[in-house]
Amino acid sequence: MTTIIHKADVGTVFELTINDANGDAIDVSSATVKYFYFQKPDYTLVKKTASFKTDGTDGIIKYTTIANDINLVGTWMVQGYVETTDGKFFTEKKEFEVETTLYTT
């Protein structure tokens, strides 16, 4: 997530990898539950349904923002979650900044 993110951006793609204790990606292709949890700068928590980047064997889940998702400027947190036939797993928490714009739709 090295892209600069702005308030009101639509189409920003977030990708997170489910890793084991050694840091290796876990095959999550059997996941029936896939979520992204976003914590906004005001500490409210939002849950969004995730999808696989490919087929899940690479451990990567993704979410693409829609209108009104990115609605506050400041420091956000994001974490992924899946439920597979082998267990329930979280990604590491990641922090990102949302910047202002000169124009807001």
Question: For the segment 13-23, what is each residue's pLDDT rounded down to a tens digit?
Answer: 999 999 999 99
Residue ranges per domain, the chain?
5-98
How far apart CA 100 and CA 105 sit, in angstroms, is: 12
Q: Tell me the CATH architecture of domain 5-98.
A: Sandwich (2.60)
pLDDT tens digits, one per residue of 49-102: 999 999 999 999 999 999 999 999 999 999 999 999 999 999 999 999 999 988
Rounded mean pLDDT, 25-51? 97
Q: Work out the angle at residue 17's Cα, subtended by the Cα atoms of residues 16 and 21, and round it to the nearest 5 degrees.
A: 135
